[in-house]
């Protein structure tokens, strides 16, 4: 079957690259992916499939039925873009000001579409038991993310496996990274509003020197939270925004700090909010400042199930061989794919997208792009994984390498 998958994928690679470029040029923000949703649905309808839009109005679910009884396997892609400029100079660069596919979601969408089209074609020439369900998830960049809507509507219920991948510009083209167990971190957002009487910069001792108080807080807060969580290496807290004041001679009456709190361990994540609130109140005690805290709980860590990793490993070896199979690094980034792990055997792979003649740009960089040959590799990989999972739904996890 591997030869058939290779041939069917190769025949569609040009179309998949063109589809990715179409999405890249017309990126849409979380929960506003209307044109993207329509483009995906229309392409699937051409193949005789029956895609459905999520109740929230964006995102696509589409079953690719086999020709024999069998399990349900889910392949997931995310479809939204980021609120940032596209700094590339390609012919397919974003046409929408301040919106860009700088995280590879356009490629993920093309890859899962391609895998679905290949499975659909296989049903006409091979025995394909069960159903492959394509999930094109909206709002991955939002909190808590579109995966919640997918799950709420019941699209993951009964799935033997939930499989996905993410572009990785740090991994070379032709390589696939796998890892059993924790793969990403949980990520929460905190907004801290600090308030005081305000006053004149000539007399800071008569009021709350608000900006100095905020600076002291920003410096002490991360270390103190890590200490109380007893996780010096598994918690990352970084401030991304600090706003206060307008004039050099005025002590402002209020200011706002915003930070992310990332936890590699789920138990730590469950305790993080209470510790954060406690630390903030303790650090500001005696300063004279009041504080309001808005804590937005995000997504849990992605934890790859061993049995699902075994499925992906089989597929990776079929597509890139032993030399192309690498250990995926553990990331402090977050992904809404994590929610699926609470509802079935889920695993997430890293797809190498770096070509040797390009700098290793990180995700979310304004000039982020991929070597588009990775799209064909990714589509073959997920099609192989789906077939493995359908034909052998109880893959022995002991066969997986300790990655």
353-374 pLDDT, tens per residue? 998 777 777 899 999 999 999 9
pLDDT tens by residue, 371-384: 999 999 999 999 99
Burial (0-12, 13-18, 19+ Cβ within 10 Å), 86: buried
pLDDT tens by residue, 181-212: 999 999 999 999 999 999 999 999 999 999 99
Q: What is the CA angle 323-325-329, rounded to 5?
A: 130
Contact 105, 77 (CB under 8 A): yes
Distances in Å between the Cα of 94 and the Cα atoms of 38, 98, 354, 368 are 18, 9, 21, 12
Q: Residue 220 CA to chain centroid, in angstroms?
A: 30
pTM more than 0.85 = yes
Give the model's pLDDT for residue 173.
96
CB neighbours of 152 closer than 8 A, spacing ≥ 6? none
- pLDDT above 90 for 106: yes
Give the model's pLDDT for residue 362.
84
Please, what are the domains in the chain?
2-184+302-399 (3.40.630.10), 186-299 (3.30.70.360)
For residues 234 and 301, what is the distance between their CA atoms, to the nearest angstrom?
12
pLDDT tens by residue, 278-299: 999 999 999 999 999 999 999 9
- pLDDT above 60 for 87: yes
Give the model's pLDDT for residue 394.
61
* Mean of per-residue pLDDT scores for the chain: 95
Q: Which of 17-21, 240-244, 263-267, 318-322 has the lowest mean pLDDT?
A: 263-267
At 364 the three-state DSSP class reads coil
For residues 156 and 135, what is the distance between their CA atoms, to the nearest angstrom?
9
Give the model's pLDDT for residue 402.
33
- pLDDT above 60 for 403: no
């Amino acid at each position: 079957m591997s030869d058939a998958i290779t041939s069917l994928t190769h025949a569609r690679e040009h179309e998949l690259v063109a589809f990715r470029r179409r999405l890249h040029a017309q990126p849409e923000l979380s929960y506003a992916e209307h044109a993207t949703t329509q483009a995906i649905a229309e392409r699937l309808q051409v193949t005789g499939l029956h895609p459905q839009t999520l109740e929230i109005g964006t995102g696509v679910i589409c079953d690719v039925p086999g020709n024999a009884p069998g399990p349900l396997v889910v392949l997931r892609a995310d479809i939204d873009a980021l609120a940032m400029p596209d700094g590339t100079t390609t012919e397919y660069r974003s046409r929408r000001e301040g919106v860009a596919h700088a995280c590879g979601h356009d490629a993920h969408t093309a890859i899962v579409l391609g895998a679905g089209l290949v499975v659909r074609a296989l049903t006409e020439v091979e025995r394909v038991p069960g159903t492959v369900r394509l999930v094109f998830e909206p709002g991955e960049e939002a909190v808590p993310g579109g995966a919640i809507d997918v799950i709420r509507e019941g699209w993951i219920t009964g799935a033997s496996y939930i499989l996905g991948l993410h572009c990785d510009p740090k991994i070379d083209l032709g390589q696939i990274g796998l890892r059993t167990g924790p793969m990403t971190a949980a990520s929460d957002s905190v907004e801290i509003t600090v308030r005081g009487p305000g006053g004149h910069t000539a007399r800071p001792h008569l009021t709350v020197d608000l900006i100095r108080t905020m600076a002291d807080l920003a410096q002490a807060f991360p270390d103190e939270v890590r200490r109380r969580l007893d996780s010096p290496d598994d918690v990352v807290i970084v401030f991304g925004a600090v706003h206060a004041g307008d004039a050099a001679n005025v002590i402002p009456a209020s200011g706002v700090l915003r930070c992310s709190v990332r936890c590699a361990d789920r138990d730590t994540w469950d305790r993080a909010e209470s510790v954060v609130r406690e630390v903030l109140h303790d650090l500001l005690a005696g300063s004279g400042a009041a504080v309001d805290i808005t804590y937005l709980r995000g997504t849990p860590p992605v934890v790859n199930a061993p049995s699902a990793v075994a499925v992906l490993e089989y597929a990776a070896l079929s597509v890139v061989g032993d030399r192309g199979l690498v250990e995926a690094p553990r990331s402090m980034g977050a992904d809404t794919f994590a929610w699926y792990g609470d509802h079935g055997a889920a695993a997430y792979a890293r797809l190498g997208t770096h070509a040797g003649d390009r700098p290793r740009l990180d995700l979310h960089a304004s000039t982020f792009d991929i070597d588009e040959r990775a799209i064909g590799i990714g589509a073959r990989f997920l099609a192989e994984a789906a077939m493995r999972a359908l034909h052998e739904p109880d893959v022995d996890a002991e066969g997986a390498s300790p990655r």
